[in-house]
Amino acid sequence: MKSLNTYRAGPDEDGHFGIFGGRYVAETLMPLILSVEKAYSEAKNDPEFACRMSYYFSQYVGRPSPLYFAERLTGHLASSRGGAKIYFKREDLNHTGAHKINNCIGQILLAKRMGKTRIIAETGAGMHGVAVATVCALFDIPCVIYMGSVDIERQAPNVLRMNMLGAEVKPVTSGSSTLKDAMNDALRDWVANVEDTYYLIGTVAGPHPYPVMVRDFQSVIGEEVRQQMQKAEGRLPDTLVACIGGGSNALGLFFPFLDDASVRIVAVEAAGEGIDTGRHAASLTAGAPGVLHGNRTYLLQNEDGQINEAHSISAGLDYPGIGPEHSWLHDVKRAEYVSITDDEALDAFHLCTRLEGIIPALESAHAIAQVCKMAGGLARDNLLVLNMSGRGDKDLDTVAKFKSSQKSGGTAA
Amino acid sequence: MTVETRIGRRFRSLKDEGRGGLVIFVTAGDPNPEISLEIIKSLPAAGADIIELGMPFSDPMADGPAVQASSLRALKSGASMKKTLDLARAFRAGDDETPLVLMGYYNPIYIYGVDKFLADAKTAGVDGLIIVDLPPEENEDLCLPAIRAGINFIFLTTPTTDNARLPKVVEQASGFVYYVSITGTTGTASADLGDIKAAVERIGKQTDLPIAVGFGIKTP
């Protein structure tokens, strides 16, 4: 592949990143998608909109989030050969406990601007659902959150939070009863309620303009890292690591650095019980390009184009697709896409909790596990930034259950 | 000058007879390949002027519970794109008149391979395609290749397709234009007859093609 002048020019005006992206939606939604696109491009050029975003970022979300030097983890992973200097970008310290709120602030301001009076959203781990319910409480708009019944069970604390915030959580029992099915039902709701409803998508996927819009709202993560690293070390970071389900926290961190050739970019998919077991969520590692949920992207699917169920201990990574810009970055080889199993993520979860006193989300634990694998082999002055995309309080039940099932099953950790 | 398809011929004869046509949708392979073929074979005698054969898909985003369930039943009993085309071919062997339209979502076609799909569909006797998630913005993918292959590409118009957008939607339309009479998924609400009449008149001003009305039908 010919090297590009820039990796930051996409998408084209029809929402394509190379062959990926696009607007593969039912005609009923097309006029609506076009109006979201128009409203977003106007808002993007409106200083007043930027001003309101930055107000809520600083006063409500608590931005900028710290760039924290994880000294004990750095020491623990150092080897005789070297060992990267590890920083955590603390998105877990945001209001609502994850990076999801960044995007929700942007989109709720857009929905208000468009005069919409009802919000719908899908959620997997519940972090996006909680963030949506939060901004809907703040801006006094009713909201309905679609959530797979399997996820409702494994993320009970988040369901309770959404209910308390005034959201209606609708259980989805079709298909595999997880994130992809929640997205199907949210789209079905939207088709039926086009006049008053705004669909607040939680990741860098879906029909154009969602992938670019969510990326833009999340890019505050990487922009802050750039400044914070300059202040801390006087230069750019060398390595960026983030987990990906749909890929919004990763793209938020990566995007501002795509044109800095010296910065190595590593994204971590969920390998579930192992790629070769077929029970995983690694769309780029083991999927193929296809069309689902409004965009062309890598998908887990069979030879007939039927979508496979994804599997991961982490509900937030349990999606058979990925944002189209990641598919493109993968194919042009600007970013490396690797995968981490449930077991590896759990080990990293415990390691981080004990060493740093930070309980990471199981999603973020996948990124930590990758850092554990690679840090020792990097030079001692390699500045590595790990996106701590969320806090792990919501996952305590899952981790506890896994521990007890291991005890009863007698398998060694 | 395009060659007249079975769809064109059927609408011409309906016009000559002075009556409206009935388009019937069934999901291919539901509940299994054998019964499905029997059902399809029985449709013309039961009054179907055009048959819409649903291509099963795991994630039918624009469909309500009934079509979702039929799609999953078909997949469970082994439905695939190849078997859907086999079904079309088997039907066509006994009926060279009734137009057959494949309806569904793009991914199974994309994975089968667009060129191979069009060639195989043409050979099987398929006359038209309705692909829910291919709006005119993505015409390069399948619409234009289908027209080149001599298969009608039928566009969906909806209550949200306003007059400014309508010309773009019907620009490449062939066969007939499908009016989705409700904003909603299949079979979840009933449309108002007055609204349908107004919409059909509105669309009729933009195209000479026949217009079929669907989606907002819950009961026979």
Taking residues A104-124, report their average pLDDT. 97
Contact residues, chain B, for A180 at CB < 8 Å: 59
Average pLDDT, chain A: 94
| Residue A156: alpha-carbon gap to chain centroid | 20
Contact residues, chain B, for A26 at CB < 8 Å: 61-62, 132-133, 135, 156, 158
Asked if the Cβ–Cβ distance from B111 to A28 is below 8 Å, we say no
Token pair belonging to A322: 């990925």
Asked if the Cβ–Cβ distance from B159 to A28 is below 8 Å, we say yes
A180 touches chain B (CB under 8 A): yes
- Point out the least confidently predicted range of A113-117, B179-183, B209-213: B179-183
B189 touches chain A (CB under 8 A): yes
End-to-end CA distance of chain B: 38
Checking ipTM against 0.85, whether it exceeds it is yes
A14 touches chain B (CB under 8 A): yes
- Name the one residue in this structure whose structure tokens are 């994630």: B59
To the nearest 10°, the Cα dihedral for A23, A28, A34, A35?
-150
pLDDT score for B184: 85
Q: Note the pLDDT tens digit of each residue in A195-230.
A: 999 999 999 999 999 999 999 999 999 999 999 999
pLDDT score for A410: 42
Task: Quote the CA–CA distance of A21 and A41 in Å, as a whole number.
Answer: 18
Q: Note the pLDDT tens digit of each residue in A347-392.
A: 999 999 999 999 999 999 999 999 999 999 999 999 999 999 999 9
- Complete DSSP assignment for A335-361: SEEEEEEHHHHHHHHHHHHHHHS--B-
End-to-end CA distance of chain A: 42
pLDDT score for A402: 84
Q: Does the structure show a pLDDT above 60 at B188? A: yes
In this complex, the residue of A28, A181, A307 whose CB is nearest that of residue B158 is: A28
Average pLDDT, chain B: 93
B190 touches chain A (CB under 8 A): no
What number of C-beta contacts closer than 8 Å exist between A and B? 117
Q: Does the structure show a pLDDT above 90 at A413? A: no
Cβ(A119)–Cβ(A132) below 8 Å: yes
Q: Note the pLDDT tens digit of each residue in A245-265.
A: 999 999 999 999 999 999 999
Asked if the Cβ–Cβ distance from B80 to A304 is below 8 Å, we say yes
pLDDT score for B189: 81
pLDDT score for A411: 42
Contact residues, chain A, for B161 at CB < 8 Å: 27, 30-31
Q: Across B65-74, B99-108, B179-188, which has the greatest mean pLDDT? A: B99-108
Q: Note the pLDDT tens digit of each residue in A170-182.
A: 999 987 788 899 9
Q: Which of A28, A184, A197 to mutate to probe the B interface, most B CBs <10 Å?
A: A28
- Label residue B1 by pLDDT band (50, 70, 90): very low
Task: Quote the CA–CA distance of A101 and A98 in Å, as a whole number.
Answer: 7
A324 touches chain B (CB under 8 A): no
Q: Is B52 strand, coil or helix?
A: strand
Q: Note the pLDDT tens digit of each residue in A71-105.
A: 999 999 998 888 999 999 999 999 999 999 999 99
Asked if the Cβ–Cβ distance from B160 to A304 is below 8 Å, we say no
Token pair belonging to A46: 């409106």
In this complex, the residue of A22, A31, A304 whose CB is nearest that of residue B160 is: A31
Task: Quote the CA–CA distance of A404 and B59 in Å, as a whole number.
Answer: 35
Contact residues, chain A, for B188 at CB < 8 Å: 192
Q: Does the structure show a pLDDT above 60 at A412? A: no
- Label residue A397 by pLDDT band (50, 70, 90): confident
- Complete DSSP assignment for B120-162: HHHHHT--EEEETT--GGGTTTTHHHHHHTT-EEPPEE-TT--
Assess whether B140 carries a catalytic annotation.
Answer: no
Taking residues A145-160, report their average pLDDT. 90
pLDDT score for A407: 59
Task: Quote the CA–CA distance of A306 and A411 in Å, as a whole number.
Answer: 34
- Point out the least confidently predicted range of A261-275, A321-335, B155-169: B155-169
Q: Note the pLDDT tens digit of each residue in B115-143.
A: 999 999 999 999 999 999 999 999 999 99
Return residues 7-46 of B near A (CB < 8 Å): none
Q: Which of A37, A91, A122, A356 is catalytic?
A: A122
pLDDT score for B220: 46
Q: What percent of chain A has pLDDT over 90?
A: 87
**Which helix (H) or strand (E) element contains residue A43?**
helix A30-44
Which comes out higher in pLDDT, residue A11 or B190?
A: A11
CA atoms within 13 A on the CB side of B43: 26
CA distances from A52 to A48, A118, A133, A195 (A): 6, 21, 19, 26
Q: Note the pLDDT tens digit of each residue in B85-100.
A: 999 999 999 999 999 9
Q: Which of A100, A116, A180, A394 is catalytic?
A: A100
Contact residues, chain A, for B134 at CB < 8 Å: 24
- Complete DSSP assignment for A183-203: HHHHHHHHHH-TTTEEE---S
Domain B6-214: which CATH number of 3.20.20.60, 3.40.50.300, 3.20.20.70, 3.60.21.10: 3.20.20.70
CB atoms within 10 A of CB B66: 14
A23 touches chain B (CB under 8 A): yes
Taking residues B180-187, report their average pLDDT. 85
Taking residues B192-198, report their average pLDDT. 89
Which comes out higher in pLDDT, residue A338 or A407?
A: A338
A140 touches chain B (CB under 8 A): no
pLDDT score for A406: 67
Q: Across A164-178, B104-118, B173-187, which has the greatest mean pLDDT? A: B104-118
**pTM for the structure as a whole:** 0.95
Assess whether A408 carries a catalytic annotation.
Answer: no
pLDDT score for B192: 85
Q: Which of B27, B59, B80, B157 to mutate to probe the A interface, most A CBs <10 Å?
A: B59
Which comes out higher in pLDDT, residue B214 or A209?
A: A209
Q: Please, what's the b/e burial string for B157-176 (b: 16 or more CB within 10 A of its CB; e: otherwise)?
A: bbbbbeeebbeebbeebbbb
